[in-house]
Chains A and B, each alone.
Chain A
Amino acid sequence: MRILVVEDESKMADYLRKALTESGYAVEIALDGLDGQHLAQESEFDLIILDVMLPGLDGWQLLQIIRRKWQTPVLFLTARDSVDDRVKGLELGADDYLVKPFSYAELLARVRTLLRRGPPREVEHFVAGDLSLDLLRRRVTRNGERLTLTNKEFSLLHLLLSREGEVLSRSLIASQIWQMNFDSDTNVVDVAIRRLRAKVDDPYSLKLIHTVRGIGYMLEVQS
């Protein structure tokens, strides 16, 4: 998967290149709008990450040029999160936006979503190690034993399983499970994870739910 990053701030560009390369993507960097236009026209990319404020040719203009010929997904980055800016980007044909400062987990989640072509598969049955979750029957078993979870614990486990191997930030979890779309600074998510672990992980030797320090939580089978 090839990603073009058009970003004039070199530290941000460097960070994006490292983060995306580590996650297994091939990354090309353009440090201004004209370079970006040149690169975009020269070769094919699976995703373009576009900063709005660029010297030479700004993000909006570049987006318009790209949209004239290609349907490559575009994720734009902006430090101004006014509603007008977001609407403008989406109207010009951007597929998604991220407001700076954004978290690492958030970036990777958006990139994955945009690269996953088509709607996400509706999975009804999840398995990770000896843990299985049946969405329709709302049953969770571990090592063959039935676990009793509350509604929110079930939703949380479902979220972690559906994004297996992906680090989920606290704010993403809060917004997905409780529709708390603002940064609530209580440790609600930590408590919820702790309680889920008490039921899902604590009695077993193989731990599935992992804390990624400074980033968030992840469910993964690690040997």
Chain B
Amino acid sequence: MFALVSTPLLGSIGFYLYQSLQREIAWRDDQALLGRLERMQALISDSDSIEQLRSRPKLYENMLGNRENLLWIVDDTGKVLIEINPVGMTLPKLPTAPHARLVDAHSAASVRLAWQDVMQGDRGLTLIAGKLLSERDQMLAAYRLKLWVAMSVGALLAFVLGWWVSRRGLRPVRMLAKRAAGIDVQHLHLRLDEFNDLNELQVLSKALNQMLARLEDGFTQLSRFSEDLAHEMRTPLSNLMGHTQQNLRYSRSIEDYQNLLVSNQEEYERLARMIDSMLFLARTEHSHASVNYESISLHDLVEQLCEYFEGVAQERDVKLINQADGELWADPVLIRRALANLLSNALRYGAPAAEVVINSLAAEDRIEVSVHNQGQPISVEHLPRLFERFYRCDPSRNQPDDSGGLGLAIVRSIMQLHGGQVTVDSSQLGTNFRLVFPIRNA
């Protein structure tokens, strides 16, 4: 990858350098040719005649110095007066040029020519200076070759170095991947190493570790829940099996059979209720569960519930006091269910001949509905776990009208669906459950 990127980059740098070198050399050659023309012109105007010049060939031969350079002086009749032409090149036809002009000519060898028409007395002369390009071509070819070699070596180096650097740089990532691959359901407690020296990886591994912690929590809860569920179903099932088998062993009176069936029916209903509650929880825990918001009059809703529980309350000599008022924006079916669960608990665990007070409080950012009973306080260690499914303060307690340990879990789910929460505090004065609804700014 690194090599893929670096090769075209090196290539284009080389190409650019080569091009500019070529242009630079061509420009300098041209300047030299033009300079030579100027000097020839000066020489001609100094010398009296061309003949004099022709008799001093050394002068300009020295001036030209090597075999690369060509020089012609041609008069207007086309007669060549002076010729220095070591490669024997034929004189090209050139258009007249009052000012110096440049052209590339190709005959025996490629050549760069500069020429100018000048007047000497009454005679028109054409001065032509040339330079063979072979040397320049050779030089450029050598340069090209060097460039190719340098670029190939560069590309190779880029590839090797890139591979090495990325391998070295990614080593923590590979370690991370290896570590992550080792984490499965049985090893959810494992965590990824924290890379303290590498900032990006430190953030990543921290985030992954936090995700793992959440997954572990969820997974533990789920597996404990499945275990609890199996346990909760086992109890009614063993009741059913035991009773039925015991009755089938000998013939019984019709009344015994009827009693058996009625007892079985109660267990079946318990199981059916538990499954209903489980399904309800499973659905409300999907965030896409539908909440049909309506404006609810809290006083009316609580009044309805008080009517529902009135009989049970009176039998226990408990007074239900409705102090709730105001409006609440929530799903009435779900809120009725949540409050019914709280009231049913308040009646079940509250002290007899006492009061259960349902109150409401409207604050700036929230609405609270609370259910307060006067009963034995709940110990502090139970409070945080009270809303877990199947959690019981006293594991041996299994009252006949028990909700199966799901009542408060349902309350919590309903509150989560509404973006709110349920809290509890308990003291000698009694136990207070609070439903807290955030107020949405419309």
Contact = CB atoms under 8 A, between A and B. Distances in A.
Interface of A: 81, 83, 101, 152, 174, 178-188, 191-192, 194-195, 213-215
Of all A-B residue pairs in the complex, the 6 with the closest CB atoms, nearest first, are: A214-B265, A191-B311, A214-B262, A178-B308, A213-B262, A186-B344
Given A101-B272, A179-B304, A181-B333, A188 B261 contact: no
B401 A182 contact: no
A101 B268 CA distance: 10
A16 to B, nearest CB: 17
A8 to B, nearest CB: 22
Nearest to B347: A186
Interface in B283-334: 290, 304, 307-312, 315, 333
Contacts of A83: 290
Give the dominant DSSP class at B's interface: helix
14 contacts: A152-B307, A174-B308, A178-B307, A179-B304, A180-B336, A183-B273, A185-B344, A185-B404, A186-B312, A186-B401, A191-B311, A192-B311, A214-B266, A215-B265
A181 B337 CA distance: 9
A181 B304 CA distance: 13
B421 to A, nearest CB: 21
A218 to B, nearest CB: 15
B331 to A, nearest CB: 12
B3 interface: no
Nearest to A181: B333
Q: How large is the interface on B (under 10, 10 to 19, 20 to 34, 35 or more residues)?
A: 20 to 34
B340 interface: yes
Interface in B37-56: none
B24 interface: no
A213 B344 contact: no
A185 B304 contact: no
Given A186-B344, A188-B309, 13 more contacts: A101-B268, A152-B310, A178-B308, A179-B336, A181-B333, A182-B280, A183-B273, A185-B402, A185-B403, A186-B309, A186-B312, A187-B312, A192-B311
Contacts of A178: 304, 307-308
Contacts of A182: 276, 280, 337, 340
Contacts of A213: 258, 262, 265
Contacts of B272: 101, 183
Nearest to B406: A185
A3 to B, nearest CB: 25
A44 B261 CA distance: 37
Contacts of B290: 83
Contacts of B347: 186
Contacts of A188: 308-309, 311-312
B403 to A, nearest CB: 5
A181 B276 CA distance: 12
